[in-house]
Structure 1
Amino acid sequence: MRGFAVAVLGASLVLGGCVEGIARGRVQAALTHAGLSQPMAECMAQRMVDHLTISQLRKLEALQGPKRSAMDYVAAVQRINDPQVIQVTASAAGACVAQVGPSGLGSLLQ
């Protein structure tokens, strides 16, 4: 019985990691599509996946439309009308600018 419990726990951890990896990849792709550089998108996606639910991440992924500046992206995120999504996105962006550098924002600074 104990072996079964260990196997179930191990499978849960592996599957959880796979789901997180898939979510991170999708968020990263959405951020890159929104105009962020690859390093910035990677950094932000890691932080966002750790702090947002799958439902909240899907809302971010569904953002459509041209995003030519940082203000356009912030306005798009604010339309989600979820304070946690706005806070996590802003926090991830700030931390990642410090880590990746301002050039990591790519076309969002234009």
Structure 2
Amino acid sequence: MKKLIVLSAVLALSACATPESRIRTGLISAGLSAPVASCMAERLVDRLSLLQLRRLLSITTLRDQRIGELTTAQFLHRTRALGDPEILGVVSIAALRCAISS
């Protein structure tokens, strides 16, 4: 019975790591503010494929600046470097909407 409870707890915790939460965490670790990152993550997971989301997360591991110093414009510059116009368009619109509403 204890094994069943532990297994259920592990499965419940692994379900918490949704693509949205992973994107939000990645954006925050890249230096975007928590409110903007949350807003953008919600929009990005609805509009980008999993492959595009993975490519986007790859730029959040570039930490040549301290956390919190990356501006939305700098993040968009890094996004443009991916060479995917769809990612750039979706991220740009999300960043604009989320920066205005925050």
Normalization by structure 2: what TM-score? 0.72
**Higher helix proportion (structure 1 or 2):** 1
- Per-residue CA distance 1:17-76 (angstroms, 9 max, x = gap): x69x61001100111011111111100000000000000000011112335344432221
Give the counterpart letter for 1:23 in structure 2: P
Normalization by structure 1: what TM-score? 0.67
Which of 86, 89, 96 aligns to 2:88? It is 86
8 Å CA contact retained: 2:32, 2:72: no
Go from structure 1 to structure 2 and tell me whether the alpha carbon gap of 1:71 and 1:99 turns closer, same or farther (over 3 Å shift). closer
Gaps of 5+ in 1: 1-17, 101-110
Superposed, 1:13-92 pairs within 5 Å as 22-63=18-59, 64-67=62-65, 68-92=70-94
Give the counterpart letter for 1:31 in structure 2: L
Secondary structure of 2:63 counterpart:
coil
Identity between Structure 1 and Structure 2 (%): 30
